Amino acid sequence: MESKKSPIIIQLSPQDILNLRRRFEKLSEITSFNQDIDFSAKIASYGIFREVGTVNDELARFIFDADTGLPVPRTSLVANLITWNNLSGVCITSSKTQRLELRTPAFYDVVHPTLSANADGTLHSLYIFPEIIQHITAQHGVNLVLVKSWGLNSMFGGFDPKKEYYQTNFWELENNDSLKFADLIRRGQLTLMGTHDLIAHVAGVQKEAWLPLKQKADDVYKTITEYFKTCQKPSISALVLPYTIGVILDDLAQPPTYNSKGHIAVIDALLKKLKHLAIKPQDPLILTEFPKSFQKIIEMSRTKGIENKTQDIEFAVHTMAQQILEKSFVINKSG
């Protein structure tokens, strides 16, 4: 039997990163991993690599020290790009310990079991290979994709490791990203371009949950499309409700909250509000304050049993729409 070679660490020079970016820029807006699995794996690995150990690292809080039973310090996590057996990937280690354990079950599915493990079952490293992960998700009927605009805004653009993710959240609001996200989900697609994608959506993906999820995403996509059909560039005021829907749909597309009745009930109430055109997207509005009840709506969707309180949901949604209108001013175009 051929002996297995050890993974090799790849050091990217600034020119290498530039070349990666240039090639990425030439992609279509949506690229399936299957179209170019090697390049897609490199991009996915790079996206994870950029985030590990930073404030935007969503894996960190699930990586524990097996000896202390505590999470390893996020800042102790180090990522390296690697290649192994013609696979591109990323390897995560901690400077604090070589006995790691993962505190969410599905995480183990996306970490190479033999490369990563110590003899006692703890992990010395986390070896992650997007190509293998694509193979796993495909068995569940879900295909991994790259989204060019998202990548250009994050790993190749607007991402700043020192800043909280709110920076790109603003981008998602103003670019109506809920629509794109809903479109991906209804087509059975997920991005894999960073730690959020990996831990929140890809790890633990379940075929059975995706049929109703796709149907709900289709509903969201069609409603938002219809809402904006006469409007090329809607106001921020008009974008808040769709953004809210997108946040909740993102939750719904996460394995721990698959099929959540609460999330579905709140999405439905928000879609109903859109259909009623409470906020007309073509109105030239400037929003002066983000609605205070946004947080309440999100928290409601995450509350067990909320689906039995439809009046409360509808009142909260109505309140948010009113707050948006009250804090919006019409532009009077002069000259």
Q: Quick one: which of 12, 37, 78, 132 contacts another protein (CB under 8 A)?
A: 132
Residue whose token pair is 């670019």: 175
Tell me whether residue 78 or residue 298 sits nearer to another protein (CB atom). 298
Is the torsion defined by CA of 137, 138, 142, 143 positive or negative?
positive
Give 329's strand partners.
Answer: 286
Site for another protein in 49-68 (CB under 8 A): 58, 61-62, 64, 66
Site for another protein in 176-195 (CB under 8 A): 177
Site for another protein in 9-38 (CB under 8 A): none
Minimum distance from residue 132 beta carbon to another protein (Å): 5
Q: Directed axis angle between helix 177-186 and helix 166-174, to 10°?
A: 80
Q: For 116-137, give one letter per residue: b (16+ CB within 10 A) or e.
A: bbeeeebbebbbbbbbebbeeb
Identify which range of 90-98, 211-219, 220-228, 298-306 contacts another protein by CB under 8 A: 298-306
Tell me whether residue 73 or residue 157 sits nearer to another protein (CB atom). 157
Binding mask 243-272 for another protein (x = CB under 8 A): x--xx--xx--x-xx---------------
Q: Quick one: which of 235, 242, 313, 316 contacts another protein (CB under 8 A)?
A: 235
Minimum distance from residue 114 beta carbon to another protein (Å): 5
Tell me whether residue 160 or residue 183 sits nearer to another protein (CB atom). 160
Site for another protein in 139-178 (CB under 8 A): 139-140, 157-160, 163-172, 174, 177
Q: Quick one: which of 85, 225, 230, 259 contacts another protein (CB under 8 A)?
A: 85
Identify which range of 27-35, 182-190, 209-217, 277-285 contacts another protein by CB under 8 A: 277-285
Identify which range of 5-13, 127-135, 264-272, 312-320 contacts another protein by CB under 8 A: 127-135
Tell me whether residue 79 or residue 155 sits nearer to another protein (CB atom). 155
Rounded to whole angstroms, the Cα distance separating 267 from 197 reads 21
Size, binding site for another protein by CB under 8 A: 90
Minimum distance from residue 35 beta carbon to another protein (Å): 20
Minimum distance from residue 268 beta carbon to another protein (Å): 19
Site for another protein in 302-321 (CB under 8 A): 302
Minimum distance from residue 314 beta carbon to another protein (Å): 17
Interaction between residue 212 and another protein (CB under 8 A): no
